[in-house]
């Protein structure tokens, strides 16, 4: 440790970084302050990293600088190039990198301590390293699989096989046993360093890495947002564990904050889907599809199609309109056209709001960010609890790219996969216009009886094209 900072100075710098982390998380709880929160948290991380580089002789400064430049360049390119619709899988990828880095850093410290002390490591370091290694490795491979499912590189279906839970239990047992052996018999490292034994820590990493793949590959793509939130918590816990290994308070605080925030997010998403975390991990949501006969029984002869011209006529006579965005809007990049439509309606004294379901996108806040990107005022974005009581007084609801979050089966069919899930009760409005490419089911794999209701009109086609045509019709009539 150099004299430039000293123990007290380093602790004070880490305290400043921790304060910035906490304030950043606080700001990220609302879309209006989220950008500031990201910048504040980034500043805290910069302070922590800079202090660590200055205070400890880790590597040659030139190598560290090169790593920072390369990493910063990659992050900048990803931030600029990746589309908003791809943010969930990018978050998953970042979770994996964080977990993997934590596990490898903990392993490097274990080897270094073992080499310096003839194979012996303190028990508390062994416990923290084993925890960081298991959680970090599971996070690394599990996050890559989750990101792959969301991006279409890995099948979105749940891959199940006979004895899968036995395999997972065996892998976990191997990882835990390896960690215990490292803690109870640390002299194993002496043999490792002489090249005469297999390091228990690396065996732990291998078993935990395979476990991460088996855990996530058996979960359907519909549940990947919840899985990514959970893995986000895991990445924080892995970082905190590595902080204990290194005796680094900044890493402990940052990891604990990420772990707590990720777990809270996971709970919120589970509540929004009315499902327990156990059900998400083992329930196979969306696996059981609906037969063609059942679909025909619901839809055949009951679907009423409409056109942009007819939609404009409905909007022209409405005094209150609620727009319900879904993931289909994000995929179609229709947020700007929808934002323009809402502005035109507001200019003509129409009371217009956006009804946003917590899991309408692939992560909570996804729709809010997309709409904010299109300059939709924050006061027009209304959460489920606030907007639901107003649908009965709404003339027109325009649902664009949403399916499961407006499915009334959640309220009427106890046997449905989405039974009890809080949904937007759009059917209570005077008229519901639903824009989708087809009648294909949502993530749950079940049909939506809303589409066959008497007050529902289906506007089939690409979300962006349809919204732009409605905007064009509205402009011509005004």
CA distance 270 to 278: 10
Burial class (CB in 10 A: 0-12, 13-18, 19+), 247: exposed
Closest CA to 189 of 264, 277, 129, 254: 129
CA distance 110 to 193: 12
Task: Enter the DSSP assignment of 357.
Answer: -
Out of 187, 316, 379, 404, the active site residue is: 404
CA distance 197 to 195: 6
Task: Tokens for 364, please give them.
Answer: 């909570």
Can you list the alpha helix ranges (DSSP code H) found in 82-199? 87-116, 123-151, 164-184, 188-193
Burial class (CB in 10 A: 0-12, 13-18, 19+), 8: exposed
CA distance 198 to 294: 57
Examine the residue annotation and report whether 296 is marked as an active-site residue of this protein: no
Would you say 459 and 434 are in contact if contact means Cβ atoms under 8 Å apart? yes
Closest CA to 339 of 387, 378, 383, 375: 375
Task: Enter the DSSP assignment of 418.
Answer: T
Q: What is the DSSP string of 201-252?
A: HHHHHHHHHHHHHHHHHTS-GGGHHHHHHHHHHHHHHHHHHHHHHHT-HHHH
Task: Enter the DSSP assignment of 196.
Answer: S
Can you list the alpha helix ranges (DSSP code H) found in 302-379? 308-316, 327-332, 335-347, 366-373
**∠ at Cα 449 (448, 454), nearest 5°?**
135
Question: How far apart, in Å, are the Cα atoms of 361 and each of 45, 56, 81, 331?
Answer: 28, 43, 20, 10
Task: Tokens for 259, please give them.
Answer: 């772990």
Cβ-proximal residues to 67 (8 Å cutoff; 6+ apart), any chain: none
Q: Which residues are annotated as catalytic?
A: 404
């Amino acid at each position: 440790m150099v004299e430039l900072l000293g123990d007290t100075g380093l602790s004070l710098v880490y305290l400043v970084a921790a304060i910035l982390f906490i304030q950043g998380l606080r700001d990220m709880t609302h879309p209006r302050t989220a950008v500031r929160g990201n910048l504040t948290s980034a500043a805290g991380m910069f302070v922590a990293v800079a202090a660590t580089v200055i205070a400890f002789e880790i590597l040659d400064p030139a190598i560290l600088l090169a790593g920072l430049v390369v990493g910063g360049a990659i992050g900048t390119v990803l931030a600029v190039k990746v589309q908003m619709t791809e943010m969930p899988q990018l978050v998953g990828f970042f979770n994996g990198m964080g977990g993997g880095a934590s596990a490898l850093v903990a392993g490097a410290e274990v080897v270094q301590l073992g080499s310096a002390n003839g194979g012996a490591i303190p028990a508390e370091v062994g416990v923290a390293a084993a925890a960081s290694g298991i959680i970090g490795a599971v996070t690394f491979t599990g996050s890559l699989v989750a990101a792959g499912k969301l991006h279409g590189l890995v099948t979105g279906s749940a891959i199940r096989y006979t004895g899968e839970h036995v395999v997972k239990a065996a892998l976990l047992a191997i990882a835990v046993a390896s960690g215990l052996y490292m803690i109870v018999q640390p002299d194993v490292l002496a043999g490792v360093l002489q090249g005469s034994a297999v390091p228990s820590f690396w065996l732990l990493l291998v078993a935990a890495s395979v476990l991460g793949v088996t855990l996530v590959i058996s979960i359907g793509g519909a549940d990947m947002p919840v899985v990514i939130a959970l893995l986000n918590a895991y990445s924080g816990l892995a970082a905190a564990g590595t902080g204990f290994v290194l005796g680094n308070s900044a890493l402990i605080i940052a990891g604990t904050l990420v772990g707590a925030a990720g777990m809270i997010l996971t709970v919120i998403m589970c509540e929004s889907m009315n499902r327990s975390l156990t059900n998400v991990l083992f329930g196979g949501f969306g696996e059981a599809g609906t037969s063609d006969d059942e679909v025909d029984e619901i839809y055949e002869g009951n679907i009423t199609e409409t056109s942009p011209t007819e939609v404009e006529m409905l909007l022209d006579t409405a005094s209150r309109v609620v727009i319900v965005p879904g993931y289909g809007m994000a995929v179609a990049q229709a947020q700007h056209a929808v934002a323009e439509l809402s502005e035109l309606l507001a200019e003509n004294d129409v009371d217009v709001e956006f009804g946003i379901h917590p899991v309408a996108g692939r992560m909570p806040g996804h729709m809010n960010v997309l709409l904010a990107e299109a300059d939709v005022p924050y006061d027009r974005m209304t959460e489920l609890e606030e907007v639901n009581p107003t649908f009965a007084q709404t003339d027109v609801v325009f649902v664009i790219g949403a399916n499961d979050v407006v499915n009334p089966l959640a309220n009427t069919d106890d046997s449905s996969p989405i039974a009890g899930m809080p949904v937007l009760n759009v059917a209570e409005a005077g008229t519901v216009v639903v824009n989708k490419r087809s009648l294909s089911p949502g993530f749950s794999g079940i049909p939506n009886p809303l589409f066959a209701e008497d007050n529902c009109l289906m506007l089939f086609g690409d979300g962006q094209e349809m919204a732009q045509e409605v905007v064009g019709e509205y402009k011509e009539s005004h």
